[in-house]
Chains A and B, each alone.
Chain A
Amino acid sequence: MKKFFNEFLRGIAKENPTFVLVLGLCPTLAVSVSVINGIGMGIAATFVLLGSNIIVAVIKNSIPQRIRIPCYIVVIATFVTVTEMLMKAYSPALDRSLGIYVPLIVVNCMVLGRAEAYASKNTVMNSFFDGLGMGVGFTLALILISGIREALGAGTILGHRLFASFEPAFILGMPSGALLVIGLLLGFFNVLKGRKA
């Protein structure tokens, strides 16, 4: 059990997909305007990651080595389609605000990266916990980025006003604000890492 727990924790801290591996940034930056979008994208990506990790781990021995990448892509695309349809049916508002970034989970390097680097070499249970850890790590990173952007850029968190009198820095809600926040956060985590070492 402890082993699985370690697999799970690895994705959250030591190999966090956003801040350490720097994978799958397109959706991270594009949807992190508000926390609710961030959570929605995080859950969608986690679902795809879990599904594709499990399936790839199950069928890894029957995939021919040379065409493994197309096989992984088909598996991932299937789960993305399922997510798209579920989201359209049960939360159309979220689907509208995430827009093209839902189908784009299919080209998220994080999902393919985990299939290739982890699930294709490990057991189903390990892959499940790896996918869960990576997904949760991704979601937490999204919540952090979108929290900063929403709090400073719009003065709200999940739609609730934070400060009585505060002039929001509009720029953080814009694309350039997203790039600035991720740049500074990456620098900040580098400082932390340097201090520990």
Chain B
Amino acid sequence: MSASQFLTIFISAVFIYNVILSRFLGLCSFVAISKETKPALSMSLAVMFVTTMSSIITWFIYRFLLIPFDLTYLRTISFILVIATFVQFVEMVVRKTNPAMYRLFGIYLPLITVNCAVMGVAVLNSDMFFINGRALPGSFWYSAFQGVCAGLGYALAMLLMSGIRERLDLCNIPESLKDFPLAFIIASIMSLSFLGFNGFKF
């Protein structure tokens, strides 16, 4: 476990392999909710929270349940169930205890259950930080940190996109490209510019 490893995870999860622009995880919500900045920010906060927590939870499941009992083939089914339950639980807690926060991002929580970004990061963690059924030293911190960074990458792409789309409201766009098609073309150009980070390797 070293600082440079964390730096590598940060750069690669936020810039080089950005969850949305390079791995295409969470694309549905990215296109659907990025029309304005405010909901985009709330959604990003919610995703960041859930990716971090689910990275931590699934690490425990994988390390202490699936590996010792040789059940790694149940990874998909156990991860999705745990994530869905966790998200549901958080939604209930937030709704009961903090209405202001619920209005800010709680309504996006149910959407996140089937957000590929959350499940994708959990699966990636178990692929990257466990080799031949053994946890790498420090894998817990790496997994948690990768969860945070994936959330940051999501937020970065989401905020850039919503900023651009807000300005597009005032532009004269061909009828057939409105909404989805143009959003994808913009995302394509963003992804192209993120390619520049590729040289950024350690």
Q: Which A residues are within 8 Å of any B CB, using their own CB? A: 22-27, 29-30, 69-70, 73-74, 77-78, 80-81, 84-85, 100, 103-104, 106-109, 112, 171, 174-180, 182-184, 186-188, 190-191, 194
Contact = CB atoms under 8 A, between A and B. Distances in A.
B184 A174 contact: no
A179 B176 contact: no
B186 to A, nearest CB: 8
Main secondary structure of the interface of A (DSSP, over half): helix
B139 interface: no
A127 to B, nearest CB: 20
Nearest to B32: A22
A176 B27 contact: no
B76 A25 contact: no
Nearest to B175: A194
A81 to B, nearest CB: 5
Contacts of A69: 84, 113
Interface in B169-187: 174-178, 180-185, 187
Contact of B21 (A74, A175, A190, A194): A175
Given A29-B24, A109-B28, A180 B80 contact: no
Given A107-B119, A191-B176, A25 B181 contact: no
Contacts of B22: 175
